[in-house]
Structure 1
Amino acid sequence: MGRSGSGGVTRGKSRFDDIYVQPDPRAYFTRLAPLDYEIPHHAQPVFRQVAAERAAHGDSRTGGLVVLDLCCSYGINAALLNHEVTLAELYERYTSDTASRMSPEELAAWDRDFYAERRRPDALRVYGLDIATPAVRYARDAGLLEAGFTDDLERVPPGPELRRALPEVGLITLTGGGSYITERTFTALLDGVRGHVWVSAFVLRTVSYEPVVRRLAAYGLRTTVETSRTYPQRRFTDEREQQYAIQAVRALGGDPSGREEAGRFHSVLYDSRPGGAVHAPVTGGHQPDHLAGADGSTYRD
């Protein structure tokens, strides 16, 4: 996904800033297709399950559950959460000859019809946050996001529009943005929400999520993570990037064999909910592998 902030550690990791400032997602899918960028595909069933559990949990909000997708870029997670569509179909759609002949405005109109026809009956309101203004604008124009924000919470506090929206949020999701945002972004968000908020985040094994876990714990959220189950994100762009990833995983105490050494970035799923909440694993049936911290968080690096 795109970047919602600029405070994460990215040294050694290839950047794709140029594909997030295009007026539509064609460059995004064209560039990432050869790299088999697939983490949104793995997140699709997880986010649907977590969203259903969060909605069933209930609270005093009106209008149903609101999901805030961090580093939302062109609204890919929103498309997969709320519509009968697969990531493979999106790759095929946006790299097609038909799409290549359209203007950005024509593509957005084409998308509005496409997603309207495939909208799920249990579709949720999804807000998006990303500093890539063109990407957020397109996601809104295509009907994927009900609201979109471009505040860089790594640098500045939420603006008035985001502050008004945050009390509605009940679930925060993240895929691929853990390299760019830190606990500063989560602090800004949790300072503005109301009631119980859950966080579901896929984070690369090359970065430590521990500072975020500790910050979430300060807001009463207990985090579970199953380190034995990983999710491939994409192929490496070159050998230099692969060596960076292998060294970064080892530096954090992980084992890159069979994962990063095999040629792909891998992510781990972190699930954060109010302390004491009992829930089933959302990682395909494996039991969580974690250690309980003195602050009430559950974390294992």
Structure 2
Amino acid sequence: MGPEFAPGVKGVKALTDESGKANFSGIYNQETPCAYYANLRRLKYEIPQHGATVFNQLIDAQPWGDGYRPTVLDVCCSYGIVGVLTKTDLELDDVYTYYQGAGDDGRTVDQVRRAENEFLGQRARPAAPHVIGLDVAENAARHGVAVGALDDAFVENLEATTPSSELAKKMSEVDLITTTGGIGYVTERTFERLLTCTEAPPWVAAFCLRTYDYEPISEVLAQYGLVTEKADQAVRQRRFIDDTEREWAMAELAARGVDPADMESEGYLYADFYLSRPQEDATGKPLADLVTIPAN
């Protein structure tokens, strides 16, 4: 199907496939994230903040030892927003406000990036984690590295190919794999190809839209010794871009036997949180004792 604009959401170009699920390819891989943040703010896109809140709890709860900075691999990293929210004391609304109107101010790409680098540097958290990005969107990932939101990035499609030697080597350093809005664009193939590069698999913390079945991923993770727990509470991702996407979501939920009452029926996509880790870790501290899922 061709591009359509969502009613009442100026500038949000949604390319819908035959199923009706929207994607944001028109704004996902520009040289700067000005349009990305402006449009997602209009859609009340919240999931990066929920994700970062939970990921920071997981990071802070670990006995890393003095001076150790854990390494996070964020799958479908885009411009590095999860990196921003874990490496600084900024919140998502701060980022949205920073970029409000920035797309029309006449600055060059280099000027936008230098200013954002300075802005993020002023709000850096001490002993923040190293954050590595993985995405197919080269411009977005490179922007994340340029401004310091990401310490490194790999532009690779693990749905189609095995990891590069560089990524395979880097996986030995990864303590935590995260994703907020990536499930559906990536499947169990990506996670399996990542874990084949590790001797001691890292924890996997994933937010998955309720329209998708996470079980194929958890089954793959189990093959590497990781036990998956699901949080009791779902979190809001964003509002539907249009009626077509809402109809798609409702059909997917119905097919899965998931009740949309008080969630998707209210006009928003919702995501469940899953944490996968070795059995001994899960036994020692249940998920409910480890993190508090943000309220919507």
**Shared fold, TM over 0.5:** yes
1:95 Cα deviation from its structure 2 partner: 1.8
1:276 Cα deviation from its structure 2 partner: 2.7
The separation in 2 between residues aligned to 1:80 and 1:99, in whole angstroms, is: 25
The separation in 1 between residues aligned to 2:70 and 2:79, in whole angstroms, is: 21
For the pair 1:147 / 2:152, whether they are aligned, the reply is: yes
Partner residue, 1:279:
285
Structure-2-length-normalised TM-score: 0.87
For the pair 1:259 / 2:250, whether they are aligned, the reply is: no
Partner residue, 1:22:
30
1:67 Cα deviation from its structure 2 partner: 0.4
1:139 is paired with a residue whose SS is helix
The separation in 1 between residues aligned to 2:168 and 2:104, in whole angstroms, is: 36
In the superposition, relative to structure 1, how do residues 167 and 231 fare at CA in structure 2: closer, same or farther (>3 Å)?
same
Amino acid at match of 1:257: A
In the superposition, relative to structure 1, how do residues 283 and 52 fare at CA in structure 2: closer, same or farther (>3 Å)?
closer
The separation in 2 between residues aligned to 1:98 and 1:83, in whole angstroms, is: 23
Partner residue, 2:163:
158
Correspondence for 1:42 among 38, 50, 53 = 50
The separation in 2 between residues aligned to 1:173 and 1:238, in whole angstroms, is: 28
What are the ranges of 5 or more consecutive residues in structure 1 without an aligned counterpart? 1-8, 287-301
1:283 Cα deviation from its structure 2 partner: 5.0
Correspondence for 1:211 among 188, 210, 216 = 216
1:99 Cα deviation from its structure 2 partner: 7.0
For the pair 1:234 / 2:234, whether they are aligned, the reply is: no
Partner residue, 2:174:
169
Amino acid at match of 1:24: T
The separation in 2 between residues aligned to 1:33 and 1:19, in whole angstroms, is: 13
Partner residue, 1:5:
none
Count of aligned pairs: 273
**Percent of aligned pairs sharing the same letter:** 37
The separation in 2 between residues aligned to 1:57 and 1:120, in whole angstroms, is: 16
CA contact (8 A) 2:64 2:70 kept: no
1:161 Cα deviation from its structure 2 partner: 1.5
Partner residue, 2:183:
178
1:104 Cα deviation from its structure 2 partner: 1.2
Show CA shifts across 1:267-289 (max 9, x none). Answer: 00001111131224255279xxx
Structure-1-length-normalised TM-score: 0.86
Amino acid at match of 1:53: A
In the superposition, relative to structure 1, how do residues 206 and 275 fare at CA in structure 2: closer, same or farther (>3 Å)?
same
In the superposition, relative to structure 1, how do residues 199 and 267 fare at CA in structure 2: closer, same or farther (>3 Å)?
same
Show CA shifts across 1:47-106 (max 9, x none). Answer: 10112234x267xxx963110000000000000011011100111111235873321110
The separation in 1 between residues aligned to 2:102 and 2:34, in whole angstroms, is: 11
In the superposition, relative to structure 1, how do residues 99 and 119 fare at CA in structure 2: closer, same or farther (>3 Å)?
farther
1:112 Cα deviation from its structure 2 partner: 1.1
1:10 Cα deviation from its structure 2 partner: 8.7
Show CA shifts across 1:228-268 (max 9, x none). Answer: 41100001011111111112112112100111111000000
Correspondence for 1:12 among 13, 20, 25 = 20
CA contact (8 A) 1:171 1:200 kept: yes
Partner residue, 1:101:
106
Amino acid at match of 1:264: Y
How well do the aligned residues superpose, as a CA RMSD in angstroms?
2.0
2:178 is paired with a residue whose SS is strand
In the superposition, relative to structure 1, how do residues 250 and 111 fare at CA in structure 2: closer, same or farther (>3 Å)?
same
Amino acid at match of 2:246: Q
What are the ranges of 5 or more consecutive residues in structure 2 without an aligned counterpart? 1-16
The separation in 1 between residues aligned to 2:120 and 2:60, in whole angstroms, is: 20
Correspondence for 2:252 among 248, 252, 272 = 248
The separation in 2 between residues aligned to 1:271 and 1:193, in whole angstroms, is: 18
1:276 is paired with a residue whose SS is helix
CA contact (8 A) 1:166 1:194 kept: no
In the superposition, relative to structure 1, how do residues 16 and 195 fare at CA in structure 2: closer, same or farther (>3 Å)?
same
CA contact (8 A) 2:32 2:143 kept: yes
1:33 Cα deviation from its structure 2 partner: 1.6
Amino acid at match of 2:59: A
1:155 is paired with a residue whose SS is coil
1:147 Cα deviation from its structure 2 partner: 0.9
For the pair 1:134 / 2:139, whether they are aligned, the reply is: yes
